[in-house]
A and B are shown apart, each in its own frame.
Chain A
Amino acid sequence: MNIVDTTALDAAKHDVAPRRVSVIRAPSFSLRNLKGDLIKLWQYRDLLYTLSLHRIKVRYKQSVLGIFWAILQPLSMMFIFTFIFSLIARMPQEGAPSYAIFVYAALLPWNYFSTGVGNATNSLVSHSQFVTKVYFPREILPFTYIVAALFDFGVASVLLGALMIYYRVALTLNVLYVVPIILVLSCFATAISLIFSATQVRIRDIGVAVPLLMQLWMFATPVIYPLSAVPVRLRPLYMFNPMVGIIENFRQVVLRGQALDARSLSISAVISVVLLLVSYLYFKHIEATMADVI
């Protein structure tokens, strides 16, 4: 949205504090607006907080299992994959004491991504009563779903901790690398959410396509198999998927207690940051006239 905030030089006589002047113009792609957009977003930080909090509360308010749903989803997937890939077929588990913990350690960040993006995609359309009635930076809507998914990630991490104790996986200081990994993952999930949710406003096919896309994407990412199982000649292409570096590094620092692989994570980080910038500009462009078509 094309809002430039400057401070009025001619503050009205009765006013103690000068009043900001906002200018609304036709939408245009430009980096110049970025600063104004980010200031607006910062001004509305309380909305992001309140809305994310409510998102979490509402989800668990009327359900019996409540917060355990956050664990149940990756847990049941873990059981299915463990049944298939360690009892029926043998899948390499690369140093992990059991296939169960091997796959759970990847499902955890993967679910954060797929749940966050999946819910965020529909966030604008499902809040059309907000979008057509009041102004606020609309990116807050997809953001809240990413925050809620991150909360679920935190809850489900508890089970990973329990599995590690059960299988006697020693925790090293390298586990702190989880912080930059999750940061990159959050950037990437946010970027994809901005693109999908903005496009969904006009083309509703996106919402239908996302679950399918997420299924395919999971198989293109080392979740149920290790990176080492991917043929070497395919790797350069394979690594273009930013989720590869993220998931593989997550499993490496948590389960194997090794330092992260800087090369693969930086590929993911560069792609994520560039994509975040581009997707934000795209989103703000669509946002300007979103209420006309939603």
Chain B
Amino acid sequence: MADLSFINVSKRYRIFHEADSTNGGPAALRKVRRMFSGWQDFWALRDVSFDVEHGEALGIIGQNGAGKSTILKLLYNITTPSDGEIRIKGRLSALIEVASGFHPELTGRENVYLNGSLLGMKRREITAKLDSIVDFAGVSNFIDTPVKRYSSGMYLRLGFAIAAHLDPDILLLDEVLAVGDADFQAKCIARINQLKQAGTTIVFVSHNLSAVESLCDRVFLLRKGEIYKSGPARQVISDYEQMLTEMPASAPTHLTTVSESPEAEIVSVSLLNSEGRKTTMFPAGDPIRVAVEYVAHEPLEDVAIEVYFYSVFGNLHCHFSTSNDGSRLNLKPGNGIIEFDCAELGLEMAAFNVEASVKRREADFSDHIDHKHVAVINIGKGKPIHGMFHQAHTWRQRN
């Protein structure tokens, strides 16, 4: 049999309505009633069937809400399907960072034991791998220090190093696939390739289309909880890129955090292509216009509105700012829009998180009045742009 089978799997989430405050007696009674009737069903996956053969690397792509993370959760047994059956042959592990489970008072060593056993490792297995884990994370000198004294980088690296030392038959990878600096990322990627070469079956769920393309043999495109397309990586990815470009103005201006900043807030952000259409798919090197809608609750002097493009690894690749040319921006109370125009977006083919902020011009880089994650964009085939940053340039041929 295949290493992994989904057999007619469906997953239903029950969404409970907020209690209606206008009718129906006392609040407690309404709450109780809501538990029995006030819900709506949402099918995150509908009748999905597939097999992953031994040694195969499968990529799963799709927009937010298509069901990607539901598949991950089901595979990892964090939740169970509402219908259907999943068969998993062998030991399945996810390459995730587990640093959020660290206990600050315990030392690095104690946390490695704690989180290693949480991931299903035996104590003697951890003892055997301890040196290698500590070395991988680069925290050898601090292993008997409480982790509350660690820098955030050390924290994440150690959390990730533990997961990287599991010996799975089936490996799950998702967006948080790499953390830390370029060196550490290279180690992680080397580890994944090593596992792949050893014949580990891989399931990779990501927005990062170029990473999916380079790692996976076969790709599924999920849409509304169903497998919309499946086939060789290159083919499905280019279909998906096409689909994203043609998509009408459904571009995500959804804001993921709700902050209640007293002074000013980012309301929405639209990403527009050369034709002035909202999209989340941009060919490399194409023009982009970013429209940031804000609301100021009081007059603000000398502020800056900024847009950031972060890689899925958390590195800042590019940044637009109203303070770019040294000019002052004053906001009057009420709504307004700031538009940024960029003639050539110098990002390479990958997925990027777009964030926007409003801040005081003289404030520290991370000291924001309001800061929100606004979208994930995909850079597709366009101009040949490679590297961490792109520098507009000219050239000539001389004989």
Interface residues of A (CB under 8 A from B): 1-3, 8, 10, 12, 14, 19-27, 43-44, 46-47, 49-51, 54, 57-58, 61-62, 129-136, 202, 288-292
Query: Residue A133 contacts which of B1, B81, B100 (CB distance < 8 angstroms)?
Result: B100
Q: Given that A49-B123, A50-B117, A133-B100 are contacting pairs, would A288 and B80 also be in contact in the complex, using a CB cutoff of 8 Å?
A: yes
Q: Which residue of A lies closest to B80 (CB)?
A: A288
Q: Given that A50-B113, A61-B105, A292-B13 are contacting pairs, would A25 and B80 also be in contact in the complex, using a CB cutoff of 8 Å?
A: yes
Q: Given that A49-B123, A133-B96 are contacting pairs, would A54 and B110 also be in contact in the complex, using a CB cutoff of 8 Å?
A: yes
> How many A-B residue pairs lie within 8 Å, measured between CB atoms?
112
Q: State the 3 A-B residue pairs at the shortest beta-carbon distance, nearest first.
A: A19-B90, A47-B117, A135-B77
Least Cβ–Cβ distance between B266 and chain A, in angstroms: 28
Residues in A whose Cβ lies below 8 Å from that of B259: none
Least Cβ–Cβ distance between A130 and chain B, in angstroms: 5
30 A–B contacts from the bound complex (CB under 8 Å): A12-B54, A14-B199, A19-B89, A19-B91, A20-B89, A21-B1, A22-B87, A22-B88, A23-B86, A24-B85, A24-B88, A25-B84, A25-B86, A26-B83, A46-B121, A49-B123, A50-B117, A50-B123, A51-B114, A51-B117, A54-B106, A54-B110, A58-B106, A129-B101, A130-B118, A133-B98, A134-B94, A134-B119, A289-B80, A292-B14
Q: Given that A46-B117, A46-B122, A58-B105 are contacting pairs, would A23 and B85 also be in contact in the complex, using a CB cutoff of 8 Å?
A: yes
Q: In the complex, A153→B302 CA distance in Å?
A: 63
Q: Given that A20-B90, A21-B89 are contacting pairs, would A288 and B113 also be in contact in the complex, using a CB cutoff of 8 Å?
A: no
Q: Given that A20-B90, A24-B86, A46-B117 are contacting pairs, would A134 and B98 also be in contact in the complex, using a CB cutoff of 8 Å?
A: yes
Q: In the complex, A2→B115 CA distance in Å?
A: 24
Q: In the complex, A292→B114 CA distance in Å?
A: 24
Q: Which residue of B lies closest to A48 (CB)?
A: B117
Q: In the complex, A9→B202 CA distance in Å?
A: 22
Main secondary structure of the interface of A (DSSP, over half): mixed
Of listed A20, A49, A50, residue having the most chain B CB within 10 A? A50
Residues in B whose Cβ lies below 8 Å from that of A23: 85-88
Q: Which residue of B lies closest to A17 (CB)?
A: B90
In the complex, B79 has a CB within 8 A of chain A: yes
In the complex, B76 has a CB within 8 A of chain A: yes
How many chain B residues touch the partner (CB < 8 A)? 43
Q: In the complex, A278→B17 CA distance in Å?
A: 31
B79, A292: Cβ atoms under 8 Å? yes
Least Cβ–Cβ distance between A126 and chain B, in angstroms: 12
Q: A58-B106, A134-B78 are known; give 10 further A-B pairs, CB within 8 A.
A: A20-B89, A21-B1, A21-B88, A23-B85, A26-B84, A49-B123, A54-B106, A136-B118, A292-B13, A292-B79
A54, B98: Cβ atoms under 8 Å? no
Least Cβ–Cβ distance between B368 and chain A, in angstroms: 25
B87, A2: Cβ atoms under 8 Å? no
A62, B81: Cβ atoms under 8 Å? no
Least Cβ–Cβ distance between B110 and chain A, in angstroms: 7
A43, B120: Cβ atoms under 8 Å? yes
| Contact bitstring B138-181, A, C-beta under 8 A = 1, else 0 | 00000000000000000000000000000001000000000000
A129, B100: Cβ atoms under 8 Å? yes
Least Cβ–Cβ distance between A292 and chain B, in angstroms: 5
B101, A130: Cβ atoms under 8 Å? yes
Residues in B whose Cβ lies below 8 Å from that of A25: 80-81, 84-86
Residues in B whose Cβ lies below 8 Å from that of A12: 54
Query: Residue B106 contacts which of A10, A57, A130, A134 (CB distance < 8 angstroms)?
Result: A57
Query: Residue A135 contacts which of B14, B78, B86, B121 (CB distance < 8 angstroms)?
Result: B78
B77, A1: Cβ atoms under 8 Å? yes
Residues in A whose Cβ lies below 8 Å from that of B35: 202
A10, B103: Cβ atoms under 8 Å? no
Chain B residues numbered 62-97 whose CB sits less than 8 Å from any CB in chain A: 73-74, 76-91, 94, 96
Residues in B whose Cβ lies below 8 Å from that of A130: 101, 118
Query: Residue A58 contacts which of B77, B84, B103, B199 (CB distance < 8 angstroms)?
Result: B103
Residues in A whose Cβ lies below 8 Å from that of B73: 291
Q: Given that A24-B81, A24-B86, A132-B78 are contacting pairs, would A54 and B103 also be in contact in the complex, using a CB cutoff of 8 Å?
A: yes
Q: Which residue of B lies closest to A22 (CB)?
A: B88
Q: In the complex, A61→B103 CA distance in Å?
A: 12
